[in-house]
Structure 1
């Protein structure tokens, strides 16, 4: 598959410069970082949350860290992890577990941990389990201009 069509359109619209980094098949973000030989703190991992009332939120954290759901304060809602069955409907052009770190093109607000924004460049899933998108941080921020940066990890 190489790259989700939604991600590709977003990159083109924002005129972002990026590289596609192929790697052996992997099942998790940490494994992707390992097999692609990149630092896990530079791989942006998407965690999808919902309020059980049809509202979704994407929290983006480094693959080396864990999301602290208690730190997610957005719209005074109670956020919780979205179940996998729901994810396949939200990200129709992505393989399950390979969601790119871009919420806006998929119709959801986005929070990004500052641990990521302090990196000079980052990697993210491309929509499949065998490719990562690599870009400079300024290009990523151009791609997700409305993302809110806030502490999300323990």
Structure 2
């Protein structure tokens, strides 16, 4: 079990209550939810975006949903998916594909879909492919106080 050092420091400084949930190795957010036996709508999946001008944005949606790129941009913003090499550079202490849903310590803004904030509790990657952080949604919002809650994926139904 390996928690990213940046995430560990962030959790400690925010004095959040959380637990680590170990699970068999997984290669995607949906697979993590499946092998950890948790509902995919409670697993926060970060998507790293790049404006190609040196600014980055973490858009966080439930693992059960897909980010709608047309819902991310506001005003004159233009975001594109970041490359794997950029993500590896930004999240040096994380395994590729296991980025925690915490943006500020990594120098970027964050937008969270309200489908996640309406959950009782949230899970997110701890920085590797074999452990998740689990906490109440209230604790998660305390951890990401500057995150903007806005629609990022089409509503179910």
* Interval of TM-score (by shorter of Structure 1 and Structure 2): over 0.9
**Cα distance between partner residues in 1 of 2:82 and 2:18:** 29
Cα RMSD of the aligned pairs, angstroms, is 0.9
Q: Give the TM-score, by structure 2 length.
A: 0.96
Q: Which runs of 4+ in 1 moved over 6 A?
A: none
Equivalent residue for 2:81? 81
Q: Which residue of 1 aligns with 2:55?
A: 55
Number of aligned positions between the proteins:
154
Structure 1, unpaired ranges of 5+: none
What is the SS of the residue equivalent to 1:13? helix
CA displacement at 1:73 relative to structure 2: 2.5
1:29-108 matches, within 5 Å, as 29-74=29-74, 76-108=76-108
In the alignment, structure 1 residue 16 sits paired with structure 2 residue 16: yes
Query: 1:7 and 2:7 equivalent?
Result: yes
Output the TM-score relative to the length of structure 1: 0.98
* Rounded Cα–Cα distance in structure 1 between residues aligned with 2:115 and 2:83: 26
Distance across 2 between alignment mates of 1:83 and 1:68: 18
